[in-house]
């Protein structure tokens, strides 16, 4: 579900095809989805940055699968 939201939002808000470096892209996605993610993962703020990156990475991997 979150992956779908990311895909929809990304199409709208990232018109440039140049991908951001993973680190800043993670921060970008994390900040963009902070409210939705907080609702879904109440402990989001307790996660370390690496955990957040892993979460975003996992969502991306799931998104790539058909």
Q: What is the pLDDT of residue 54?
A: 78
User: Both ends of the chain: CA-CA distance in Å?
Assistant: 14
- pLDDT tens digit string along 27-58? 666 666 666 666 666 665 666 667 777 777 77
User: Domain range holding 7?
Assistant: 2-11+20-64
Tell me what pLDDT residue 41 has.
64
Residue bearing the bigger pLDDT, 43 or 23: 43
pLDDT exceeds 60 at position 62? yes
- Quick one: residue 20, left, alpha or beta (phi over 0 = left, psi -120 to 50 = alpha)? beta
* DSSP state letter for 18: S
Please give the model's pTM, rounded to 2 decimal places: 0.30
Q: Once rounded to an integer, what is the mean pLDDT over residues 2-25? A: 50
Tell me the chain's radius of gyration from C-alpha atoms.
Answer: 12
Total structural domains within the chain: 1
CB 45 within 8 A of CB 34: no
């Amino acid at each position: 579900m979150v992956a779908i939201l990311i895909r929809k939002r990304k199409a709208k808000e990232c018109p440039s095809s140049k991908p951001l470096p993973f680190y800043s892209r993670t921060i970008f996605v994390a900040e963009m989805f902070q409210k939705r993610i907080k609702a879904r993962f109440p402990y989001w703020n307790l996660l370390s940055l690496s955990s957040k990156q892993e979460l975003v990475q996992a969502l991306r991997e799931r998104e790539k699968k058909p």
